[in-house]
Amino acid sequence: MLNKYARAFFTRVLTPFAAFLIRRGVSPDTVTLIGTAGVVAGALVFYPRGEFFWGTVVITLFVFSDLVDGNMARQLGRSSRWGAFLDSTLDRVADGAIFGGFALWYAGQGDDNVLCAVAIFCLTSGQVVSYTKARGESIGLPVAVNGLVERAERLVISLVAAGFAGMHKFGVPGIQHLLPVALWIVAVGSLVTLIQRVVTVRRESAEAEAADAERTEAEGSEAAK
């Protein structure tokens, strides 16, 4: 739902900015690299120190590069396999930095080994969820399922919760508990999504193999005639 509606809305909003960057001679790949660097810096500089509000502000400013670079590529008519590969690869880097930042906080000053483990699980499961779809498609399967919690949902839930949790330092009582709740939601949702995708790939694989067997049998019968 977030991918369908939010992405379409922000694409329209950011189109003039993308056009401005094109006029200035900035390439989509440059925007991708700068955006990822900003997200990584925001996550690994602020989150391990418990500065969740300011870390989230920095990350949010740069995370929109994921929409800007694609918008620029479409305006330039330069959509390419390399651009798609770079964008997808650096998305994984950014996600790893965000949840790695949470894990570092709970392993250090946050002093909560359980939540550290949950953050690491969110990091790992997010990578695996993306891999299952990419791997399924690489062997010729459609992987026709999105799942409960995809990348957009993982980011929105985690970043919104982190931003609000950071307001605890401004005197808002009890709000710091939002982040642990969000991490648990993302962890469970990612597990459900992973199971959905594995089940889908298993079903589609069986269907594809059955179709191949029928085709081979039909070709054999035809040759025998």
Binding positions are 29-32, 66, 69-70, 74, 80, 87, 91
Q: 181: which 2 tokens?
A: 């709740």
Are 176 and 168 contacting, i.e. CB atoms less than 8 angstroms apart?
yes
Q: If you ran DSSP here, which 8-state letter would residue 139 be given?
A: T
Cα→Cα distances 183→40, 189, 194, Å: 19, 10, 16
Query: Quick check: is 91 catalytic?
Result: yes
Residues tagged in the binding site annotation for a CDP-1,2-diacyl-sn-glycerol: 29-32, 70, 74, 80
Whole-angstrom Cα Rg for the chain: 21
The active-site residue out of 91, 111, 112, 212 is 91
Characterise 37 by phi-psi region: left (phi > 0), alpha (psi -120 to 50), beta (else).
alpha
Residues tagged in the binding site annotation for Mg(2+): 66, 69, 87, 91
Exposed, middle or buried by CB within 10 Å (0-12, 13-18, 19+), for 216? exposed
Q: Which amino acids are annotated catalytic?
A: 91
